[in-house]
Amino acid sequence: GNSLVTNEAETFISAHGAHAGLIMFWAGSFTIYELSRYNAAQPMGEQGLILLPNLARLGLGVGDGGVITQPEPIIAIAAFHLVSAAVLAAGRMWHLFRAPTDLSTTQGGAKRFNFSWDDPAKLGVILGHHLIFLGLGAIAFVEFAQGWGIYDPALQAVRAVQPHVDLATIWAYQTSFLSISSLEDVIDGHVVIAFMLTFGGVWHILVPPFAFARRLLVFSGESILSYSIGAVALMGFVASIWCASNTTVYPVEFFGPALTMKFSLA
């Protein structure tokens, strides 16, 4: 767990790089593997694919009817991930063998990246930067949808989506997000989320945790790890239900038919 790298911020950072490299390698290699066994004559949702459906719903390499007609963008993305994996692996090896394990003893800019698990203010700064990067990702998706376009299952074609940001409509989805049937509403939601994430990131960087948060939360390596795992579990449950239920964001052509809820008493 995180307690293994107590007082070793450099080791913790390099471990992050190694994990990212493994994820990049899996994504790149598995995309190539799925593309090699893809059958255009069979619906993608029936082929047991994982990555190609997600690339297709972003409008990458897919033509009318949800069939991959231009594999070049997909190959380019896979190659980018494989090259990135090699770069991250090299960075991990450099940090492992050349960089000091304790950044508190270093000189210059590297010392800014030192932290301790029992320092709420520093952990808030780290959280803030994570939120800003997530916000930038949401902004990038909005710009991509406007410029390149994403797959619209209603038209069975790729089209550009322009946000109009209707806050009342977005707020109404708080209790019925599974029923979203408009790509414009999806992009609007990402605009709002991008603003919230960016604002929250700046807030956490500038404002240390309040006293009640310091009393309520446990600041240690293992507690931060447990909070993170809990958050990932929650996102996993929400994503799985959404993927199985919403055919606007997860088109039937790519992911198969929507989940049908059936209840019975024996």
Within a domain: 213: no
Within a domain: 60: yes
- How many degrees, rounded to 5, is the angle at CA 229 between CA 49 and CA 226? 165
Within a domain: 32: yes
Confidence (pLDDT) at 265: 66
| Same domain? 177 vs 65 | no
Within a domain: 38: yes
Tokens of 218: 């446990």
| Same domain? 17 vs 89 | yes
| Same domain? 239 vs 112 | yes
CA distance 146 to 124: 33
Residues 221-263 have pLDDT tens digits of 888 889 999 999 999 998 888 888 999 999 999 999 988 777 6
- Per DSSP, the three-state class of 90 is helix
Task: Provide the β-strand partners of residue 157.
Answer: 152
Within a domain: 214: no
Least confident of 41-55, 59-73, 111-125: 111-125
Least confident of 165-169, 174-178, 179-183, 225-229: 174-178
Per 3-state DSSP, what percentage of the chain is helix, strand, and coil (rounded to 5)? 65, 5, 30
User: Hey, how many other C-beta atoms are within 10 angstroms of the C-beta on 187?
Assistant: 21
CA distance 194 to 190: 6
| Same domain? 75 vs 51 | yes
| Same domain? 185 vs 231 | no
Look up the domain containing 164 and give its range.
Answer: 119-150+157-208
Q: How confident is the model at residue 59 (pLDDT cuts 50, 70, 90)?
A: very high
| Same domain? 96 vs 126 | no
CB within 8 A of 178, min separation 6: which ones? 241, 242, 245, 246
| Same domain? 134 vs 12 | no
C-alpha dihedral over 70, 72, 77, 81, to 10 degrees? 140
What is the rounded average pLDDT for all residues in the chain?
A: 90
Top-confidence residue, 176 or 42:
42
| Same domain? 227 vs 99 | yes
| Same domain? 105 vs 234 | yes
CA distance 187 to 165: 8
| Same domain? 20 vs 38 | yes
| Same domain? 3 vs 61 | yes
Which of 191, 199, 166, 153 has the alpha carbon at shortest distance from 59?
153
Q: How confident is the model at residue 204 (pLDDT cuts 50, 70, 90)?
A: very high
Contact predicate 119/214, CB 8 Å: no
Look at residue 211 and tell me whether its pLDDT is greater than 60: yes
Split into its structural domains, the chain has a count of 2
Q: What is the pTM of this model?
A: 0.87
Q: Check residue 60 and report its DSSP letter.
A: S
Q: Using alpha carbons only, how large is the chain's radius of gyration in Å? A: 22
| Same domain? 108 vs 146 | no
Within a domain: 215: no
Residues 135-153 have pLDDT tens digits of 999 999 999 999 999 999 9
